[in-house]
C-alpha cells in the first residue's frame, strides 16, 4: 500500500460526523474481522517530512475512524484507539496505528440508566434498543409505516430517557426479528458495559449473532455503518460460494481441539444470599443433554465445561447459558481455515456467506465436498508480486 499505483486507500474520518479528514499512505497492513467479536487493523503511516507530519497530527486516538478501501469497495472500517510515534536510528519517522471495528465502541460505553425489558420485545429488538440507548439515550424502536399515513411510529420502554451528547457514532439499524422474546434489567451504578450486555443476550440458548457491517450505499455512495443481526446465525447470500483445491484454495488447516470442548456444561451465577443462616453459595444450572446428543452414552469420556456469570440470579437463564455453551463446544472444537486468492471478492461481504469446499488430495482421496459458513477473515494485501489473499475462518453450515 505504499506505491502511487496501489489499489488501496486508507481514509481517515471524524468518528462522530464521518467527515473525511485525510487520505494517507498506510503500509505493513494487517486487517481482520469476525462475526460476534471486534476485528482489528494495524498499519504504519510513513512521515517523511514536516508537511506530512502536520497532516498525520490530525489523527486523534479515540476520535478518528479509518476505512480501508479497495477500488469502490470498503473492506474494513473501525476506530483508531492507539498509536505509536517512532523514530529509528536514521531519523526516519513513522506512526503506527491500531484500530478496532465499530463494535469496540460499545465496549467503551457503560449503561448509566435504569433500563427494564419486560419480555415483550424480540431479542434482536432489545439489541437494537441497547445500541440506540448508547448513542442517543433513547430506547425508541422505529416501526414501519403500516397504516399508510406516511409517518413512522415509535414506542419506548421502561427506563430513563435522557439525551446523551457525544454518543452517536452513526450506527444504523435494520428490522430483523428472531421470534424469541427476552426480559432483563440494568441498573444505574452497576456500570454494565453495553457490549457485554449484548454479548450476554446473544450467548443464551436460541440466541443471536451480531456485527457492524461497513459498506457504501449503492445509491448515494455514502459510507454506512450498519448493525447486522441474525438468529440463530447471520447468513449472507442465497447461493453457495464454491471453492476448490486444486484451484482457488491456496492452503487449508483443520485444527481439532478437545481441550476447548466438553460433554457436560455448568453455568454458575450470582451468590444466593437469601438465607443468612447458611453459607452463601453461587447459583448454578447444568445443561440439558438430549439422548440423541449425549456423547457419553456412545463412549466419549466425561469432560466438563464451566462458566461464571456473577450478575445472573436466575437458574433458568443459567441453564440456557449452559445449554448454549455445550452446543458450541460438544466434543472437539473444529474451526477450519482456508487461504484463498481474493481476486474480485470483497472480504467484508463474505461474513455469514456459505461456502462449499471441494478438496481432493492424499487425505481426502475420495474428495471432500462440504458446506461451511464464513465467520471471520484476515486479509494480507498484495505485496512484491504476491496477490491479495485472505484466511477465511469457517464453521459447519
Domains of the chain: 8-101 (2.30.300.10), 110-230 (no CATH), 236-255+335-396 (2.30.300.10), 259-328 (no CATH)
Query: What is the CB neighbour count within 10 angstroms for residue 314?
Result: 16
Alpha helices (runs of H) in 82-219, residue ranges in sequence order: 103-106, 123-136, 194-202
Query: What is the CB neighbour count within 10 angstroms for residue 69?
Result: 19
d(CA 312, CA 318) in angstroms, rounded, equals 7
Q: Which residues contact 123 (CB under 8 A, 6 or more apart)?
A: 178, 180, 181, 182, 201, 204, 207, 208, 231
Contact 287, 303 (CB under 8 A): no
Write out the chain's pLDDT in tens, 397 residues. Answer: 444 344 678 999 999 999 999 999 999 899 999 999 999 999 999 999 999 999 999 999 999 999 999 888 999 999 999 999 999 999 999 999 999 999 999 999 999 999 999 889 999 999 999 999 999 998 876 544 444 443 333 334 444 445 678 999 999 999 999 999 999 899 999 999 999 999 999 999 999 999 999 999 999 999 999 999 999 999 999 899 999 999 999 999 999 888 888 899 999 998 876 666 667 788 999 999 877 678 888 888 999 999 999 888 889 999 999 998 888 877 777 889 999 998 888 999 999 999 999 999 999 999 999 999 999 999 987 766 678 899 999 998 8
Q: pTM of the predicted model, to two decimals? A: 0.84
DSSP 8-state secondary structure symbol assigned to residue 217: -
**Interior angle at CA 78, CA 321 and CA 74, nearest 5:** 110
Element (H, E) at 53: helix 50-56
**Three cell numbers at 5?**
499505483
d(CA 110, CA 231) in angstroms, rounded, equals 25
d(CA 180, CA 178) in angstroms, rounded, equals 5
Q: Phi, psi at residue 220, to the nearest 5°?
A: -95, -20
pLDDT of residue 7: 62
Q: Phi, psi at residue 320, to the nearest 5°?
A: -60, -40
pLDDT of residue 163: 66
Query: What is the CB neighbour count within 10 angstroms for residue 74?
Result: 22
Query: What is the CB neighbour count within 10 angstroms for residue 166?
Result: 7
Numbers of helices and strands, H then E, in the chain: 5, 27
Please tell me the chain's helix, strand, coil percentages from 3-state DSSP, rounded to the nearest 5: 15, 45, 40
Angle, nearest 10°, between helix axes 123-136 and 194-202?
170
Element (H, E) at 268: strand 264-272
d(CA 321, CA 67) in angstroms, rounded, equals 36
Tell me which residue has cell 488430495. 361
pLDDT of residue 146: 43
Residues pairing with 206 in the sheet: none
**Three cell numbers at 229?**
443481526
**Among candidates 270, 393, 374, 396, which has minimal Cα distance to 327?**
396
Strand order across the 171-173 sheet: 171-173, 223-230, 209-216
Amino acid at each position: 500500500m505504499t506505491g502511487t499505483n496501489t489499489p488501496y486507500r486508507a481514509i481517515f474520518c471524524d468518528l462522530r460526523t464521518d467527515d473525511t479528514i485525510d487520505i494517507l499512505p498506510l503500509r505493513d497492513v494487517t486487517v481482520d474481522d469476525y462475526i460476534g467479536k471486534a476485528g482489528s487493523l494495524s498499519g504504519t503511516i510513513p512521515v517523511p517530512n514536516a508537511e506530512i507530519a502536520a497532516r498525520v497530527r490530525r489523527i486523534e486516538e479515540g476520535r478518528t475512524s479509518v476505512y480501508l478501501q479497495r477500488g469502490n469497495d470498503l473492506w474494513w472500517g473501525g476506530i483508531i484507539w492507539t498509536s505509536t510515534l517512532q523514530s529509528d536510528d536514521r531519523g526516519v519517522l513513522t506512526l503506527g496505528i491500531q484500530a478496532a471495528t465499530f463494535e469496540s465502541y460499545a465496549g467503551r460505553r457503560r449503561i448509566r440508566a435504569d433500563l427494564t425489558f419486560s419480555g415483550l420485545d424480540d431479542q434482536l429488538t432489545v439489541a437494537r434498543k441497547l445500541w440506540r440507548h448508547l448513542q442517543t439515550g433513547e430506547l425508541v424502536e422505529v416501526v414501519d409505516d403500516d397504516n399508510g399515513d406516511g409517518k413512522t411510529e415509535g414506542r419506548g420502554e421502561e427506563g430513563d430517557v435522557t439525551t446523551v451528547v457525544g454518543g452517536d457514532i452513526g450506527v444504523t439499524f435494520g428490522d430483523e426479528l428472531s421470534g424469541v422474546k427476552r426480559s432483563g434489567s440494568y441498573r444505574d451504578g452497576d456500570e454494565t458495559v453495553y457490549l457485554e450486555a449484548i454479548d450476554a443476550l446473544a450467548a443464551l440458548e436460541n440466541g443471536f449473532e451480531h456485527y457492524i457491517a461497513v459498506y457504501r450505499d449503492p445509491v448515494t455512495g455514502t459510507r454506512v455503518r450498519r448493525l447486522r443481526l441474525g438468529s440463530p446465525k447471520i447468513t449472507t447470500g442465497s447461493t453457495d460460494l464454491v471453492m476448490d483445491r486444486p484451484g482457488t484454495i491456496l492452503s487449508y488447516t483443520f485444527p481439532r481441539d478437545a481441550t476447548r470442548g466438553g460433554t457436560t456444561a455448568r453455568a454458575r451465577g450470582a451468590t444466593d444470599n437469601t438465607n443468612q443462616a447458611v453459607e452463601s453459595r453461587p447459583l448454578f444450572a447444568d445443561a440439558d443433554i438430549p439422548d440423541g446428543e449425549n456423547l457419553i452414552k456412545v463412549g466419549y469420556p466425561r469432560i466438563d465445561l464451566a462458566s461464571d456469570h456473577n450478575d445472573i440470579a436466575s437458574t433458568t437463564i443459567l441453564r440456557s447459558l449452559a445449554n448454549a455453551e455445550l452446543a458450541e463446544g460438544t466434543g472437539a472444537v473444529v474451526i477450519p481455515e482456508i487461504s484463498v486468492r481474493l481476486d474480485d471478492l470483497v472480504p467484508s461481504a463474505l461474513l455469514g456467506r456459505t461456502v462449499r469446499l471441494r478438496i481432493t488430495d492424499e487425505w481426502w482421496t475420495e474428495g471432500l465436498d462440504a458446506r461451511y459458513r464464513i465467520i471471520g477473515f484476515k486479509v494480507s494485501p498484495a505485496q512484491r508480486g504476491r496477490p491479495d489473499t485472505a484466511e477465511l475462518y469457517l464453521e459447519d453450515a
